Amino acid sequence: MNKSQWLTAINKAFAFLLIVTCFIPYGKAFADNMEKEGYYTVYEEGTDKVVFRISWDLTKGDNYLSSDNSYYEITRVDKKSKKAFAKFIKKVDLPQIEEKLSQVNVANVPRVVGIYSTHSDESYIPSDGAASIYGHGGIYDVDAALASSLRKKGIKVIFDRTLHLPHDAYAYARSRRTALRLLKEGAGAILDIHRDAAPKEDYIRTINGTPATGVRLVVGKASTNMAANQQLAYKMKAIADKKSPGLVKDIFFGSGDYNQGLTPRSILIEFGTDTHTKERAIKAADMYADVISAVFFGDTSKKPTALGGITRTTPSERRAAGTGIFAAVIVAVVAVVGFVLISMGYGKELGSKLSKFVREEFSSYMGKIKKREGKRKNDH
């Protein structure tokens, strides 16, 4: 190859690197559990007890934490009848929250929160006139209310109004670019704001005398940061249970990634459902700002501690973040090298060998990680 051909190949490689970085899926990143028509009713295995209802497309192996901290696993899903069954696994002990929330063991992160909505069309029928608006749906008003409440607490907010339409199987792939941009602009934590489409009565709440909606937290099981994202959700529920009992109704653990593999300080939050008024959801968002503030930065209504109201990252957050970043770098580097060589004319044989190498080496690396995590648990 001459110099010109080399430069062309390198330029293509860098362009390809940007694309790969935006779309590395960390498992099932591309919108598993998308909202469908109707909702699932989940029964406790062997009984007629309704555990919960949800508009997401359920998968066997999904998990659920109820309002009373009962942990379930989905064992069967009947997609035709929209029924699913779950078995009780255990009671979960949430983190102990001290009276002074400024002492909560949270991540040492920039005092900046990024807010966006993957499903740009989501709206509230009583207030917006439709459940879906092609454009900036009612969910952006909830985003704006949350951003405003956080700013009043002295927290910088990057409120991104990028549209990720249509509401299809690739919405999370499109919003991934938004999440990456928020992190690049300095967000220490990112929040993806949604609303559910389950029955209205499941979300009706009166919190400290104020009519509001309940809040559902969603954690992606395919995220490489799953352990840290789970602990984040547990902290949020523990603090909400203390400050505003009943606000966080439950936590759903779905089979996707939901862009949470990008950072251990990411969570998907659902404010109410489509048949609720948007005004109730806005009230819930205003209350939830207290929870977000306490989780990430300590209680902003109190004086900072010697560490400025922020303590250091937990070991699980550091391990999870390290694993995710390492995996992303390996895949990106191998992809770029392969792209350059294929551009130079080495063809299908090289592509086949690179594919085999990535599968073997990457699975070997992840196997070692799992072994180490298993040994830690056994030692503990």
Catalogue the long-range contacts made by 78-83 (C-beta closer than 8 Å, 24 or more residues apart): 82/38, 82/39, 82/40, 82/41, 83/40, 83/41, 83/42, 83/43
Over residues 254-269, mean pLDDT: 96
Over residues 238-250, mean pLDDT: 96
As a whole number, the mean pLDDT across the chain is: 80
One-character DSSP codes across 99-165: SSGGGS------SEEEEE-SSTTB--HHHHSSSB-SSS-THHHHHHHHHHHHHHTT-EEEE------
What's the Cα-to-Cα distance from 154 to each of 75, 277, 285, 344, rounded to whole Å? Answer: 45, 28, 16, 53
pLDDT score, position 298 = 80
Taking only the tens place, the pLDDT of each residue in 19-34 is: 444 444 443 444 445 5
- Between CA 342 and CA 211 the distance in angstroms is 60
Phi–psi pair at 213, nearest 5 degrees: -100, 160
- Within a 10 A sphere around the Cβ of 255, how many other Cβ atoms? 20
> pLDDT class for 245, splitting at 50, 70, 90?
very high
Asked whether residue 312 carries a pLDDT value surpassing 80, the answer given is: no
Q: Which residue has the higher pLDDT, 139 or 102?
A: 139
For residue 161 the two structure tokens come to: 């109004």
Over residues 32-59, mean pLDDT: 87
- Of how many residues is the chain composed? 380
Taking only the tens place, the pLDDT of each residue in 56-115 is: 999 999 999 999 999 999 999 999 999 999 999 999 999 987 654 443 444 466 899 999
**What is the Cα gyration radius of the chain?**
22
pLDDT score, position 109 = 64
- Between CA 226 and CA 62 the distance in angstroms is 13
Contact 189, 296 (CB under 8 A): yes
pLDDT score, position 189 = 96
Taking only the tens place, the pLDDT of each residue in 272-297 is: 999 999 999 999 999 999 999 999 98
pLDDT score, position 316 = 45
Whether the bond into 166 is cis, omega within 30 of 0: yes
